[in-house]
Structure 1
């Protein structure tokens, strides 16, 4: 991976650094977010879940317009503006005296991170030849997982010093990254939307809706994100029902560690081998590993069995996410890459839906049924992926 990073243009390395740094900054507040909301706004757990999930859903929907901006606004300007919004939103979160204002800040944080992420993907496609894109997507995803693994640990350490320190640190990191990008960013990167088209966002959105391959692949992404988007949330729900809260917390800790180690160790090695020519076989392999992992969860009775099932499940995640990036890269017109990646971001709707679906199932049926519902979601995702890879 280091050899690949060295041969990339400086602009690619800076985009990777920017997405990694902002992801790390976002992850600093994750371990304390629920407690912060409960302590400062006296919200019940159910409302906290709605607030956090709702912010992610709204940001995902708005990121479609963010993708349109990536296509029409100079990359340098948009990344700087997004990092500054990211920093100011964290400051606003600290200063918030109402849950509504905090919710707005959380939407802005998620949206700014999504726009930078889309801008980075579009930048990779503009700066690198086709045969190097799978590798850079794999590196980006690996770095994101490093950020999400290290961020909460640093955030917990900061909490020992001051309750607000993770938010302050996130704001300072965002501000510092914005200043660095202003100085070092490639001012030549610009949206490729043809000036003569005069197409506004509404026209572009209608065009997306008519792209049957994109629609199928977006639906597939939503259904697969139900399974991997917030797996820690639905596994925690299942384990709290079937074991004790302390045992559930202990086991989820093992599973999160297994997932992080597997992704960091294998993501680059596997992701760089995914080719545009064989996307569907790779996706089917990822879907099969998801199903095997879910069935493993349903049968697991010991810690080693749970961890083995998580390893298999994570291999599916390692394959599916870069393959999704590659498919969007394959079908997106050059001048609409941003908005196509914005459409892919709608898969976060599935991530928000997963814990809701599992919570409903646990309240009405026997606990193990959730894994078979999730297997069904994987199968339906595979069907949509298959239809998306067909030529019409």
Structure 2
């Protein structure tokens, strides 16, 4: 059944279902491989790295196929890979089958995530900024639901988690099969070319600088999911204390993301301010950690980090959609996901190397400076480009 345009409820449902299903599987990798399969933490880290790298490949493939092939079969292929991988995990989750199927899931998930963001660029019923805000909210809601369910289901056996993931992916496949087939339409050109400007996209440099900032931000963000937990335990805090930080993170997102969506028009008009402020808040969160010894400072840091997250991360996709060529929307959204996935893959490794070679404080100082320097270069490029346009 061919639709004139994809309805937003199906797009948002796809993001919610995908992120919930994936969160049943990959966050358990270290625990499952170390405690159940009796593999070393190093092997677990390698598997997670390969998962992220294959997700990068999937991100790029999803964007390329969305533009050069067709959106409908592209997203169906990605969902099918996720469905088959999760189905196989129900029956074969020993070593090394588990690792191979997890890597396959990373590839399929990369295609799906990029395809969903690319679909958002061709929906005309709402502004892309609004759509990306809600997509980001749905993805986080899916992760919250998934991690909550895992705590109750895992004691019954990991097989049940794979069954739930399979059921969700199968449901999404049916939804996509029925509602994601849309009629071809001319894509909107959102890049406005100034009189006498060259044919090359004048915003290409800004997009590249923004993606580099995104990469650095994700490298630092991953410290919260890897090395900071060890640091808190070293200071005498508990795993429960660390887990509550993510509950706090989820609560802030659930409360404030709809508020940002309500002011979407103003934020879209001031998207550069939104991006810069969001990244500066990211950096400020690590600045707090330099002196953090008490738990309330970790809560403060997480609060500042989360505000920066909901400001900056959805706005990256919006900015890239606004200033990318009309016939390459999928490809550019693929780049957004590629840089984010590379950051997620490299983050734990870079953090561990800095900590082992220097200290946690060096990691926090380096994270603060890296984000501030990258966002400063990004902001200066914008000012330079604006000054040139005024003289034209």
Provide, for residues 106-138 of structure 1, a one-character-per-residue CA deviation record: whole Å limited to 9, x for no partner.
233223223222222222221126x72212211
Deviation at 1:141, TM superposition (A): 0.8
The whole-number CA distance in structure 2 between the counterparts of 1:250 and 1:40 is: 22
* 1:252 pairs with 2:237: no
Deviation at 1:31, TM superposition (A): 5.0
* 1:221 pairs with 2:217: no
Counterpart of 2:9 in structure 1 is: 13
The whole-number CA distance in structure 2 between the counterparts of 1:48 and 1:84 is: 26
* 1:322 pairs with 2:317: no
Counterpart of 2:54 in structure 1 is: 58
User: 279, 290, 304: which one pairs with 1:287?
Assistant: 279
Provide, for residues 135-155 of structure 1, a one-character-per-residue CA deviation record: whole Å limited to 9, x for no partner.
221111111111111101212
User: 231, 234, 247: which one pairs with 1:238?
Assistant: 231
Counterpart of 2:39 in structure 1 is: 43
Q: Does the C-alpha gap of structure 1 residues 368 and 349 become closer, same or farther in structure 2, counting only changes over 3 Å?
A: same
* 1:342 pairs with 2:334: yes
The whole-number CA distance in structure 1 between the counterparts of 2:251 and 2:363 is: 26
Counterpart of 1:177 in structure 2 is: 172
Q: Does the C-alpha gap of structure 1 residues 375 and 320 become closer, same or farther in structure 2, counting only changes over 3 Å?
A: same
Q: Does the C-alpha gap of structure 1 residues 100 and 388 become closer, same or farther in structure 2, counting only changes over 3 Å?
A: farther
The whole-number CA distance in structure 2 between the counterparts of 1:42 and 1:72 is: 44
Counterpart of 1:366 in structure 2 is: 359
Deviation at 1:96, TM superposition (A): 4.1
Counterpart of 1:198 in structure 2 is: none
TM-score normalised by length of structure 2 = 0.85
Q: Does the C-alpha gap of structure 1 residues 229 and 136 become closer, same or farther in structure 2, counting only changes over 3 Å?
A: farther
User: 295, 301, 308: which one pairs with 2:300?
Assistant: 308
- The more displaced of 19-28 and 294-303 is 294-303
* 1:299 pairs with 2:291: yes
TM-score normalised by length of structure 1 = 0.85
The whole-number CA distance in structure 2 between the counterparts of 1:384 and 1:237 is: 33
Structure 2, unaligned runs of 5 or more: 189-199
Deviation at 1:237, TM superposition (A): 3.0
* 1:265 pairs with 2:265: no
Counterpart of 1:81 in structure 2 is: 77
> How many corresponding residue pairs?
366
RMSD (Å), alpha carbons = 2.7
Decide which structure has greater helix share: 1
Instruction: Verify the 8 A CA contact 2:281 2:308 in the aligned structure 1.
Output: yes
Counterpart of 2:192 in structure 1 is: none
SS in 1 for 2:168: helix
Instruction: Verify the 8 A CA contact 2:227 2:348 in the aligned structure 1.
Output: yes
SS in 1 for 2:360: coil
Instruction: Verify the 8 A CA contact 1:11 1:186 in the aligned structure 2.
Output: no
Alignment of 1:200-215 (within 5 A): 211-215=204-208
Instruction: Verify the 8 A CA contact 2:58 2:111 in the aligned structure 1.
Output: no
Instruction: Verify the 8 A CA contact 2:79 2:108 in the aligned structure 1.
Output: yes
Deviation at 1:229, TM superposition (A): 4.1
Counterpart of 1:156 in structure 2 is: 151
Structure 1, unaligned runs of 5 or more: 1-8, 194-206
Counterpart of 1:5 in structure 2 is: none
